[in-house]
Amino acid sequence: MTDKVTAPQVRARKGGAKLRMVTAYDAPTARIADRAGADIILVGDSVANVVLGHEDTLAVSIEVMVHHTAAVTRTKPRALVVGDMPWLSYHSSPQETVANAGRLVRDGGAGAVKLEGGRKRLPMIGAVIDAEIPVMGHLGLTPQSLHAMGGYRVQGKEAQAAYELISDAKALEDAGVFSIVLEGVPDVVAEIVTREIGVPTIGIGAGANCDGQVLVFHDVTGLGAGEYVPKFVRSYAHLADDAVAALEAFFSDIDSGGFPSDAETYHMSAESEEILRGLSRASDDILADEAMGS
């Protein structure tokens, strides 16, 4: 059996074989991701809009994230499972941040946590790492900051903003993160960050020069059911369309009486059926006699 992927192993992949990361939010998607050979499974706060129907990621709590992380880790995947820390779970104090990160590990079974933000999050990141919990950073387009950013906008497009992002990446590395997600940044920014820091970068909308790539499971497989797909997404299947076709065929068979077939039906022995039918007829006769007598 292949050894379980750990945060130190991910860090050691810097500059080596590309890291393969994908989201998963429950046991079925986790099993599929692991069978496909994922190195890292991210239980993202994107569960809010991808699975739970919210408009953004701000709606989920630490309780929701623990629930979904535990569903993933119960499958015992080879991949490293990273639990996403949701909005307001790491913004108040280092102590609260450690408690919430600890819940993702203790109750959710995660092998690491991810949180968004640069230098302003260093006290929280340091506290979590001091608690022996590996931390994955996240810079660039950070969805939990959508209101502050004015929406989902590419970050680091201007030289000064790009320089600040590069500085944030170096600060996160110095703080001890084992990897950094770079989301929604120009390819040259991701290229420079990847070259200048000693931990792996994992890109999503950040070009081809990162140490790995990540996408949302439902985007890759086409389970988004016609929802908006960002520019950086490549869908490799159309499972939502396949699922609709399967259900339409099922409903058609219901209408026609073609489902269930005899082969899909449980049967009694002929002897037991004959006895049952005899008892049923006798019961019907008794009820009819009682009705006539009344």
Q: CB–CB of 139/168 below 8 Å?
A: yes
- 290 as an active site residue: the answer is no
Q: Is 132 helix (H, G, I), strand (E, B) or coil?
A: coil
Q: CB–CB of 91/116 below 8 Å?
A: no
Q: How far is residue 100's CA from residue 84's CA, in Å, rounded to a whole number? A: 11
By DSSP bridging, strand 19-23 and strand 40-43 are: parallel
Q: Token match 């997600």: residue?
A: 181
| CA triple 137-54-190, angle to 5 deg | 30
Q: CB–CB of 104/70 below 8 Å?
A: no
Q: Is 273 helix (H, G, I), strand (E, B) or coil?
A: helix
Give the active site residue among 183, 196, 264, 274. Answer: 183
Residues with a catalytic annotation lie at 183
